[in-house]
Amino acid sequence: MSVTISKKMCMIGDFGVGKTSMIRRFVDRQFSDQYLSTVGVKISRKSIVLENSTKQEIVTAQLLIWDLEGHTKFKGIAPTYLQGAGGVLIVADVSRSETVERISEHIKLFSSVNPKGSIIIALNKVDLIDEEKLALLVEIAHSIGQDKVVAVYTTSAKTGKDVDEIFHKLAYTMVEQV
């Protein structure tokens, strides 16, 4: 038996943290160093097969990935975009510590719109910093997320590190909620 579940998920975070690049790596298997800022919202689709051993059925999750305009000091993220999302990837750039610090703000915003939505943190651009610094940032991200966050991943859209894994994890978590 096979079943397809469509799920809306959002990508939020400060501008330039690599939200679009992560989607591009996950959906198109591509990466570009060139920075092109996203305005408004762009929706990408990606279907992934989730193995469900207990129910012995093939579950396909059709992810509707909402790539939202990044947060700037002039303009925050419009809550309308977040309505109806089953989960969110909050992305931060490890080479800009202020983007990590703002994760809590994003968690608060998303939770206010979707109290039951799943939250996963992506500490992106790990190819740019050393291990020691990264370990400290992961610790900070964990303390910020606490029990509201499903997981914290260290990712790199450039190298592809943990990109598929983080989307799969979020897909599983959202489907499990159903």
Partner 1 sequence: MINIFRKLLVPQETEYFVINHNFIIEETSSAVQRFADTAGEALPGVDARICFPELIGVENILTSIIIGQRSSFQVKGIARFTDNNHPLYFDLLVIEHENNEEQEEEERQSKLLILIEDSTEKMVMKQSLIQRANEANLLVRALEASRDYIDKVIISMGDALLVTTTLGIIKTVNQSAQLLFGYTESEIVEQPLSMIVVEETLLYQARHHYILSQEELVRELEVVCTTKTGAEIWVEFSCAAIQTELKGLYDFVYIGRDVTERKQQEIEIRRSLAREQELRDVKSRFFSMLAHEFGNPLNTVLFSTQILKEYGDEITANEKKEYLEHIQSASKHMAQLLDDVRLLSSAEAGKLKFNPTPVDLKSFCNDLVESIKISFGKNHAVCFIYRRVMSRVRLINKSYDESKKLPAMDKKLLRHILTNLLSNGIKYSPIDSNVYFELHCYDEEAIFKIKDEGIGIPIEDQEQLFESYYRAQNVGKIPGTGLGLSIVKQCVDLHGGQIEFSSETGLGTTFIVTIPYYKSKQID
Residues that bind partner 1 (CB under 8 A): 6-8, 15-16, 35-43, 45, 64, 69-70, 72, 74, 78, 80-81, 83-86, 96, 98
Nearer Cβ to partner 1 (30/142):
30
* Residues in contact with 156: Cβ distance below 8 Å, sequence separation at least 6, in sequence order: 124, 125, 126, 127, 162, 163
Nearer Cβ to partner 1 (81/110):
81
Nearer Cβ to partner 1 (72/112):
72
> CA 60, CA 142: separation in Å to the nearest integer?
30
DSSP 71: B
CB of residue 40 to partner 1, shortest distance in Å? 2
Nearer Cβ to partner 1 (38/52):
38
CB of residue 32 to partner 1, shortest distance in Å? 11
In terms of DSSP bridges, do strands 41-52 and 57-68 run parallel, antiparallel, or are they unpaired? antiparallel
CB of residue 49 to partner 1, shortest distance in Å? 18
Residues present in the chain in total: 178
CB of residue 21 to partner 1, shortest distance in Å? 14
Cβ(29)–Cβ(158) under 8 Å? no
Q: Residue 133: count other Cβ atoms within 10 Å of its Cβ.
A: 14
Q: Which has the closest alpha carbon to 167: 147, 177, 153?
A: 153
CB of residue 54 to partner 1, shortest distance in Å? 25
Nearer Cβ to partner 1 (71/169):
71
